[in-house]
């Protein structure tokens, strides 16, 4: 007996599933048409129906954006309804995180509801169907039901209990509720058609016996409705006009409509769209839970996770996610979106809002030998060239600085224009400096560079008009604050994480280098006041966000995304 929802990875055999991609706004067009024909008297009401069995992920963001966005657009409203019919997997922690995530994405629900609030009503509906001769109590085991069900090629077989009298069914169903029978020994099934080409219509199970404590109803119930029996009826009770869900529910639509029709209740309309898939990313709560349970990540909100809480901690913005959702389109065929496209929208948004600062991740000390010892100058720096109102700040400059190890080469390769002996570069907002000689440790590594500066180049230009090919960032050694910086790479090395050799699971594709911890980064002192959640651009390095693990005097930063925009390249290639 399948206790929950369709498997999104299963092939879709409904009519029309393989049709050409619909226009990107086909859901909106359906709503427009319904408004034109006054199908629901001008009402547009949607719901977002998460099962509280895990944290929301970026795929849910697409559903949320559609449900809330479309209702908003047409002056309607959206219910947040927890589809909590699977007591064994559901927890209050998930209920709370889901609410926080929807709010963070920028959406407001009209009503906060639970399918479990309808348990009594759903029970009444079931009794109604029994009385109509449309439902019966079956004594077959879950395995037997599966065998009797048949296959796509083979019709199903009727259960020997299918023709019980209404009285007997009413009696047995009531006794199921009272707890007279052991778990799994009986169930209630809809009496539809064992020969239907749609397997979902072959007398689907409506209720199962299960002694499990429910996060809201506790021990009150020992029978629980199955998803298909709960979902449509909950929609109908809430007078949902457009019940938008993902394509794997398409085969379930005839059943959704059958229950509503047989019960004669409000005719909510189910509309299916393509679920979001992203390269290098798994969007399945079950698999994400496995990563958490097995300790492969630090938790649901690990910044490498595609959960809303993970990407929030990483520094993604709700605006970036909404822009991404608006751009990927809504269709009738499942596809896969490049992760680079999501990152592109994150970069685009952060470029507008993130303050620029200087930070050195892999420090190399530079001593400016002709700069007065003990002197400090304040250099004026621009906070955000994209936003004049962000203003300016002062950055201290002194005789000893840190630059990136990568910005110095004792023996520069061809085409290397950064610092090397005898070469001059510009220090951002500072002076031109020329490297003179190096200090090495016993192992022969360069540990310090000695350089000279040209006092006439303050602010970054030479009065004689001479040019330098490179501008590098720096931090004053005496003023720097130490920080831990966590650099993330894709959680999976394979663009399709589910693609594994036989006998292995998706964890075989985990990227062993998805987290690099830089323990001793040096930051400019203006970052002393940075608070968890604050986002910055570290010049030349990328966008970074303060992690809640930060302690006073020891901030921790997450790299949100590097500066390089691989999506722009992909897009260019696609256009060419
Ligand atoms: P998962 O497969 O990750 O466990 P789910 O479909 O079981 O997800 P629900 O809590 O039932 O998770 O999801 C709530 C809503 O979000 C449903 O309407 C579902 O169709 C939608 N949804 C889930 N995953 C995606 C996705 N990848 N893209 C778009 N919508 C999604
Ligand atoms: Mg699922």
Give pLDDT tens digits for 156-183: 999 999 999 999 999 999 999 999 999 9
Among 3, 9, 59, which is best to mutate for testing ligand 1, by the most ligand atoms less than 8 A from CB?
A: 59
Contact assessment for residue 315 and residue 558, using Cβ atoms and an 8 Å cutoff: yes
Q: Which residue in 51, 248, 272, 338 is the catalytic one?
A: 51
Active site residue 540: no
Which pair of tokens denotes residue 538? 């570290």
pTM more than 0.85: yes
Q: Where are the alpha helices (DSSP H) in 49-198?
A: 58-73, 92-105, 119-131, 142-149, 166-178
What integer pLDDT is reported at residue 13 of this predicted model? Answer: 36
Burial of 309 from C-beta contacts in 10 A (0-12 / 13-18 / 19+) = buried
**Which residue has the CA at smallest separation from atom 10 of ligand 1?**
50
- 240 phi-psi bin (left φ>0, alpha ψ -120 to 50, beta other): beta
Q: Which ligand is nearest to the CA of 281?
A: 1
Across-strand partners of 557? 485, 546
Token pair belonging to 219 = 């021990």
What DSSP element (H or E) covers 327? helix 318-328
What is residue 19's DSSP assignment?
S
User: Given this model, what pLDDT does residue 25 score?
Assistant: 77
Helices within 218-284 (DSSP H only)? 227-237, 253-263
Weakly modelled stretches of the chain, pLDDT under 70: 1-24, 565-571, 574-576
Nearest CA to ligand 1 atom 29: 275
DSSP H or E stretch at residue 438:
strand 432-440
Per DSSP bridges, beta strands 77-82 and 45-48 are: parallel
Q: Give the pLDDT confidence score for residue 19 in this predicted structure.
A: 38
Catalytic residue among 253, 285, 418, 535: 285
Tell me the per-residue pLDDT of 192-214, one tens digit each, with 9 for 90 and over.
999 999 999 999 999 999 999 99
Query: Residue 114 Cα, ligand 2 centroid: separation in angstroms?
Result: 18
pLDDT of 324 reads 96
Tell me, what's the pLDDT at 6?
Answer: 60
Give the separation between CA 232 and CA 243, rounded to whole angstroms: 9
How would you write 530-563 as a 3-class SS string? CCCCCEEEECCCEEEEECCCCECCECEEEEEEEC
Q: What is the pLDDT of residue 569?
A: 67
C-beta atoms surrounding 455 within 10 Å: 10
Tell me whether residue 62 is one of the annotated catalytic residues: no
Q: How many residues does the chain have?
A: 576
* pLDDT confidence of residue 356: 98
Q: Is 315 left (phi over 0), alpha (psi -120 to 50) or beta?
A: left
Compute, in degrees rounded to 10, the torsion defined by CA atoms 33, 36, 42, 44: 20
């Amino acid at each position: 007996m399948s206790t929950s929802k369709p498997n999104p990875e299963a092939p879709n055999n409904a009519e029309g599933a393989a049709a050409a991609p619909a226009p990107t706004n086909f859901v909106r067009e359906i709503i427009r048409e319904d408004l034109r024909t006054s199908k629901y008297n001008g009402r547009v009401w949607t719901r977002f129906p998460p099962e509280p069995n895990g944290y929301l992920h970026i795929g849910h963001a697409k559903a949320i954006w559609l449900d809330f966005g479309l209702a908003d657009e047409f002056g309607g409203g959206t219910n947040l309804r927890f589809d909590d019919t699977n007591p064994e997997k559901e927890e209050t922690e998930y209920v709370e995180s889901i609410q926080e995530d929807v709010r963070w994405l920028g959406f407001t629900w009209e009503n906060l509801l639970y399918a479990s609030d309808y348990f009594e009503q759903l029970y009444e509906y079931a009794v109604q169907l029994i009385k109509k001769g449309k439902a019966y109590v079956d004594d077959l085991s879950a395995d037997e039901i599966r065998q009797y069900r048949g296959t796509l090629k083979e019709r199903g077989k009727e259960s020997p209990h299918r023709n019980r009298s209404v009285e007997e069914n009413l009696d047995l169903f009531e006794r199921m509720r009272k707890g007279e029978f052991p778990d799994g020994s009986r169930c209630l099934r809809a009496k539809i058609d064992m020969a239907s080409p749609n397997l979902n219509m072959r007398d689907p199970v409506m209720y199962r016996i299960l002694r499990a404590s429910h996060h809201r109803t506790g021990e009150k119930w020992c029978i629980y409705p199955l998803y298909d029996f709960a979902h449509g009826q909950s929609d109908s009770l809430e007078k949902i006009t457009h019940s938008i869900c993902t394509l794997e529910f398409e085969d379930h639509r005839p059943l959704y409509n059958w229950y509503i029709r047989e019960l004669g209740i409000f005719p909510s309309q189910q509309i299916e769209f393509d679920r979001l898939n992203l390269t290098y990313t798994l969007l399945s709560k079950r698999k994400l839970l496995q990563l958490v349970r097995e300790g492969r990540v630090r938790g649901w909100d690990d910044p490498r996770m595609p959960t809303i809480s993970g990407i929030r901690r990483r520094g993604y913005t709700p605006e970036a996610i909404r822009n991404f959702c608006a751009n990927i389109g809504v269709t009738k065929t499942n596809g896969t979106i490049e992760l680079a496209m999501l990152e592109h929208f994150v970069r685009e948004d952060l470029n507008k809002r993130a303050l620029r600062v200087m930070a050195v991740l892999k420090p190399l000390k530079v001593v400016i030998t002709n700069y007065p010892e003990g002197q400090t100058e304040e250099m004026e720096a621009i906070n955000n060239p994209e936003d004049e109102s962000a203003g300016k700040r002062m950055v201290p400059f002194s005789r000893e600085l840190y630059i990136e190890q990568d910005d110095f080469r004792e023996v520069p390769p061809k085409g290397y224009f950064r610092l090397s002996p005898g070469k001059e570069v510009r220090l951002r907002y500072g002076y031109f400096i020329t490297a003179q000689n190096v200090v090495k440790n016993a192992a022969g590594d360069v540990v310090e560079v000695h350089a000279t500066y040209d006092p006439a180049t303050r602010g970054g230009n030479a009065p004689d008009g001479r040019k330098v090919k490179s501008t590098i960032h720096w931090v004053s050694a005496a003023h720097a604050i130490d920080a831990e910086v966590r650099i993330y790479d894709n959680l999976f090395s394979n663009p399709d994480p589910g693609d594994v050799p036989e006998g292995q699971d998706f964890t075989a594709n985990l990227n062993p280098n998805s987290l690099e911890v830089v323990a001793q980064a040096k930051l400019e002192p203006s970052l002393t006041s940075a608070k968890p959640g604050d986002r910055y651009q570290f010049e030349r390095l990328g966008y970074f966000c303060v992690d809640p693990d930060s302690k006073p005097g020891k901030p921790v930063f997450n790299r949100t995304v590097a500066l390089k925009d691989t999506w722009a390249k992909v897009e260019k290639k696609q256009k060419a």
